[in-house]
Amino acid sequence: MPIDRSLGRNVHFYDASVPDVSLGGLIQNGSVTEANFLDMLSIILVTNTPIRVQGRTSGHIVTRTNSRVESGEYDIYCDNPIQVNNEPWVHRINSFNVSGREEGFHEGIRARDGRCVVSGVVNRRAYRGNWAMFELAHIFPLEKENLWVEWGFGRRITDMDDTNGVSKINSLQNGFMLRRDIHGDFDQYLLSVNPDDNYKIVVFDEDLLGIDGRMLDPVCRNPEDPHPVCDALLRWHFRQSVLANMRGAGEPVFEHDFPPGTDMMREISEGPCAKERFELELAARLGVAI
């Protein structure tokens, strides 16, 4: 069954006019500042006038400072009604290869990064061609290439020519290298990079690996490199992560490791996004593009 993102939250926020109904929350691992919190709320909430965010117990007013947000409940005051942003969340299942189109992407990312750009672990085995611990991650998911084209994200890419029929989704600017375990969390929006706060890494689940608050390794964002990671794509992923983890009860996290004896078909069919999950699971197992 899908994993509940709301479990473990230690920060909760409410419309002060309806104080018993939570609008959402987050797991604060230490990196989220008051300024970050206000920016995140501006993604989740739609209002016509400014808001005031106040600690329910402490009475503390949240302001644009670099002080960390303390655990607890926060009431949001506004002169006009507060609405939760209903912007669709672009869910993704797993990253997988799309036949034949990624060779340059893989070679280029390995040459540029040579390490997990989130944890900082360098692949000292690279000289032997051993990349077993490391994977290449697309920031905007390959399986959503139709949305990439529809939304014109190719215009953000500066390191590829405008060749007719090429979407540019496999540009090096749309990817970086991650450790395998970190890649899974990145794909599920359980961690992200905030390019508007010095490329700070924010972990939206319990921080098991001690990476919350680190900075994205400069090796992948060097402005002197012709293929730096695209800030606009990082910003898109961060926005998706905020929507997935902080809005309401949160979006589902899908389980892919089905124990022996599990009725996988039933698990998927009775859960959310069943049709798309079937398509992606089938494509991943057959090694074909969708």
State the Cα–Cα distance between residues 78 and 162, nearest whole angstrom.
Answer: 46
53 and 188 housed in the same domain:
no
Q: Which of 21, 53, 84 is at the close of a domain? A: 84
- Whether residue 70 lies inside any domain: the answer is yes
Q: pLDDT tens digit string along 31-72?
A: 999 999 999 999 999 998 999 999 999 999 999 999 999 999
Identify the sign of the CA torsion 34, 35, 40, 44: positive
| Closest by Cα among 36, 34, 32, 11 to 23 | 11
| One domain for residues 111 and 185 | yes
pTM for the full predicted model: 0.87
Q: What is the pLDDT along the chain (290 residues), one digit of tens a residue?
A: 567 888 999 999 999 999 999 999 999 999 999 999 999 999 999 998 999 999 999 999 999 999 999 999 999 999 999 999 999 999 886 555 444 456 689 999 999 999 999 999 999 999 999 999 999 999 999 889 999 999 999 999 999 887 766 789 999 999 999 999 999 999 999 999 999 999 999 999 999 999 999 999 999 999 999 999 999 999 999 999 999 999 999 988 865 544 455 555 565 565 556 555 555 555 455 443 33
The H or E element containing residue 78 is: strand 72-78
- Is residue 109 domain-shared with residue 60, that is, in the same domain? no
Residues 79 and 108 in one domain: no
- DSSP lists the bridge partners of residue 68 as 33
Do 64 and 121 fall within a single domain? no
Asked if 178 and 78 sit in the same domain, the reply is no
Same domain for 210 and 127, yes or no, is yes
Burial 204-240 (b: 16+ CB within 10 A, else e): bbebeeebbebbbbebbbeeeeebbbbeebbbbbbbb
- Residue at 287 is within a domain: no
- Is residue 283 a part of any domain in this protein? no
pLDDT for the residue 166: 75
Token representation of residue 43: 């993604």
In angstroms, the CA 239 to CA 90 distance is: 10
Residue 284 domain-assigned (yes or no): no
The answer to whether residue 277 is domain-embedded is no
176: helix, strand or coil: strand
Q: Taking a C-beta distance cutoff of 8 angstroms, is the pair 191, 182 a contact?
A: yes
Q: Which domain holds residue 160?
A: 103-246
* Joined tokens for residue 183: 């890649």
Same-domain check for residues 80 and 122: no
DSSP string, 30-64: S--BHHHHHHHHHHHEE-SS-EEEEETTT-PBP-S
Is 267 contained in some domain?
A: no
Q: Is residue 127 part of a domain?
A: yes
Q: Give the pLDDT of residue 238.
A: 98
Please indicate, yes or no, whether residues 175 and 234 belong to a single structural domain of this protein: yes
Is residue 112 within 8 A of residue 73, CB to CB? The reply is no
Residue ending a domain, choose from 54, 84, 114: 84
Count of domains forming the chain = 2
Show which of 84, 113, 145 is a domain's final residue.
84
254-261: long-range contacts (C-beta < 8 A, 24 or more apart)? 254/2, 254/3, 254/93, 254/188, 255/1, 255/2, 255/3, 256/93, 256/94
Q: Which pLDDT score is estimated for 174?
A: 97
User: Strand pairing of 51-55 and 45-46?
Assistant: unpaired
The CA-based angle 61-66-69, given to 5 degrees, is 50
Diameter of the chain measured on Cα atoms = 63
Residue 274 inside a domain? The answer is: no
* Spatial distance between the Cα atoms of 69 and 89, rounded to a whole number of angstroms: 25
User: Does residue 56 share a domain with residue 143?
Assistant: no
| Residues 222 and 137 both lie in one domain | yes
Average pLDDT, the chain: 88
Q: What is the pLDDT of residue 258?
A: 46
Q: Where are the alpha helices (DSSP H) in 54-173?
A: 103-112, 145-150
End-to-end CA gap in the chain: 24
Same domain, 79 and 163: no
